[in-house]
Every structure is written in structure tokens, then in C-alpha cells.
Amino acid sequence: MPEHARIAHKTLIEFIAAAYRAAGIPQADAAKAAELMAASDISGADGHGVFRLPQYIRRIKAGGLNTRPEITVIRQARAAAIVDGDNGLGSLVVARAVEEAIALAAENGVGWVGTRNGNHAGAAAVYAAMPVAHDMIGLYFAVGNANHLPPWGGVDMLLQQGKTMPEGWMIDRQGQPLTDPSRADDGFLLPIGGYKGAALALMFGLLAGTLNGAANGADVVDFNKDDTTPTNTGQAICVLDIKAFAEPLAFKRQVDAVIRQLHGSALLPGFDHIRLPGEDRHHRIAERRAYGIPIPPELRAALDKLATDLAIPPLFG
């Protein structure tokens, strides 16, 4: 992989906030949404961070996103709620839902909050990880708009880099492997695990979308192509308060013991280490905090154009 120019986390947040403000989002919301977007970038979810900023701004300019939403919490039960995002930035809507779910879990041991009238919110891990600081566990669900979502890093990025997609990502309308990113519109993303993954995607769509009154199935708006129709995006977060089940420190020690066992496992031929979920993310955050976030030249060009359009200083000043 080529070495890309890097930008400090703080500088990236300031650039995103400036773009949001220039697009009409009030200062406090712009600052919060910028932090949430850069949280995807710093953790290595490169297809979900600033890479999406030009698309978000395009939608705002086209009138498809509410820059001054009244985000409301609808609570009809003690430990459950719905957050109505009033078509605001997805990050602000989901962050509000997570805050509410953490409060509900603190009171009740578990809290479940769904969203509707939100938008694309960036990397799921950003939100699922938030409860951890409160000694809580987060489970995050989102409507799988699988026929619309570009693969990791975005089809555009693959195209700019002249790369193909590996087999198993997409199939075409004849069921054949589709590896040419320029043909992405002709095919469908495949779920993990064949029919079992398809069942999971359906279940998550019902929990994160239909249950909250958000779009699911044919109602899902392809936000990569349509900048004006409100997406009515739905997500759901379930938060468990560890102390309702176990003493948090003892629980963490037991989790560590399981992790150590897995790391101690014998390796299959062809593998040089055991990878566990969240570890790469953890290392990437440390590395990018220290050395900055790499910005490929194609992305830098797109962000330079955005800066010009919005009359804000460029990312690399």
C-alpha cells in the first residue's frame, strides 16, 4: 500500500466542522458531527468517515437533509425509546439514541433505543463502542441497504485506484461473480454466510427499520444516487449495564482470559497470528493518533474541490 499524506485528527475534525458550518449546520452540531465523522477515520473505517463528506454536503445543498432538525425522544416504556431524527445528520441522531440508551440502561440494566428519520451515520463501531466508557456493552443494528452501499472504501475509491473487487463481494443479475467496480450498479452485494447472513440482514432490517417506523425493503432510498428524498434511515442500539449481571472488573478479567486463550491457540498453516475483533481497530486508533490519518490523493482532490465550493480553507493548508 502506498504511503499517503497524513493529517492530524484535530485538523480533520476542524475541516469537517468548517464544511458543516459552511453548509448551514449550527456551530455546536457541526462540532459534534465532525468529531463523530472523524471517529470513523481515526479507527480505520475509511469508507465511513470524511470520504462521505462530499456526499453529505451534496445532499444538504440539494435540500435532502435538515440542517436544523428538532431531534426528539419518544418514550413509551421504561427501558425503551425511539429517537426521531427529523431528517438531521445521521451521526447526531444515532449519538442521541446511544446517549438515551445508556441512560435507560443505567436505570434498568438494559436499554433499547431505535431511530427513525435519520440518515447514514458512519461506522457502526463508533456507536457500539460508546457505552464501554460507562462499563456497559453496546449492540448496534442498522437497516442493511445492501443493494445500495458501495463496498468498503467505496466503489469510487476502487475505480480511482484501478482495483477490482474480490469474488464473493457482489454478484450480477445472473448470479455470476461481479468484480469490476464500474459494473457495481448491475449487481448486488452478497451477505456473509449465504442464506444465514441473508436472514440476519432481514432480521436486522426489521429491528432497526420497520419496528421504528423507518424505511426498510422497497422504501429504502439509494442515497448514493438520490440527494433529495428523505432517507428515513433507521438504526437501533441495545445497551447492557454490566453490573446488572456481574461485577464489571471481574467480568473484564474473564473476558481477558477468553481473549488470552484464543491468542494462545495453535495456528493453522498459512497464518502468522490470531486476529480478534476490535484489535486492529484499537491499534489503528493508536497509530493514527500518533502519526495522523492517511488521506489518499483521490480523496484529497475531492476534499480540495469541496473546500473550494464551500469557500473554506483546504484540509492541507
Closest CA to 15 of 45, 47, 41, 46: 41
Residue 93 near residue 121, CB atoms below 8 Å: yes
CB of 217 to a copy of itself, least distance (A): 4
- Asked whether position 285 contacts a copy of itself by CB under 8 A, the answer is no
Neighbour tally for 79: CB within 10 Å: 16
- Asked whether position 109 contacts a copy of itself by CB under 8 A, the answer is yes
- Asked whether position 144 contacts a copy of itself by CB under 8 A, the answer is no
| Identity of the residue, 3 or 195, whose beta carbon is nearer to a copy of itself in the bound complex | 195
CA atoms of 290 and 284, how far apart (whole Å): 10
CA atoms of 55 and 60, how far apart (whole Å): 9
- Asked whether position 129 contacts a copy of itself by CB under 8 A, the answer is no
Residue 209 has φ and ψ, to the nearest 5°, of -110, -75
Residue 87 near residue 73, CB atoms below 8 Å: no
| Binder of a copy of itself out of 170, 240, 312, 315 (CB under 8 A) | 240
Range 242-281, binding a copy of itself (CB under 8 A):
242-246, 251, 254-255, 257-258, 261-262, 266, 268-270, 275-277
- Asked whether position 108 contacts a copy of itself by CB under 8 A, the answer is yes
Q: With CB under 8 A as the contact rule, which of the stretches 2-10, 90-98, 211-219, 297-305 interacts with a copy of itself?
A: 211-219
Q: With CB under 8 A as the contact rule, which of the stretches 56-64, 65-73, 77-85, 281-289 interacts with a copy of itself?
A: 77-85
Neighbour tally for 162: CB within 10 Å: 7
Number of residues that bind a copy of itself (CB under 8 A): 60
- Asked whether position 107 contacts a copy of itself by CB under 8 A, the answer is yes
DSSP letters, 95-164, are HHHHHHHHHHHHHHSEEEEEEESB---S-HHHHHTGGGGGTEEEEEEE---TTTPPPTT-HHHHHHTT--
Read off the DSSP letter of residue 197: H
| Binder of a copy of itself out of 112, 127, 140, 223 (CB under 8 A) | 112
Range 188-207, binding a copy of itself (CB under 8 A):
191-197, 199, 202-203, 205-207
Range 14-73, binding a copy of itself (CB under 8 A):
none
The 3-state secondary structure of 29-45, one letter per residue? HHHHHHHHHHHHHHCCC
| Identity of the residue, 10 or 196, whose beta carbon is nearer to a copy of itself in the bound complex | 196
What are the cell numbers at 144?
Answer: 442493511
CB of 239 to a copy of itself, least distance (A): 10
| Binder of a copy of itself out of 217, 297, 313, 314 (CB under 8 A) | 217
The position carrying cell 442515497 is 223
CA atoms of 8 and 291, how far apart (whole Å): 7
Strands 187-189 and 293-295, how do they pair? unpaired
CB of 50 to a copy of itself, least distance (A): 25
**3-class state of residue 275 by DSSP:** coil
- Asked whether position 1 contacts a copy of itself by CB under 8 A, the answer is no
CB of 158 to a copy of itself, least distance (A): 20
| Binder of a copy of itself out of 160, 210, 285, 298 (CB under 8 A) | 210
Interface positions with a copy of itself (CB under 8 A): 76-80, 82, 107-112, 114, 137, 171, 173-175, 191-197, 199, 202-203, 205-207, 210-213, 216-218, 238, 240-246, 251, 254-255, 257-258, 261-262, 266, 268-270, 275-277
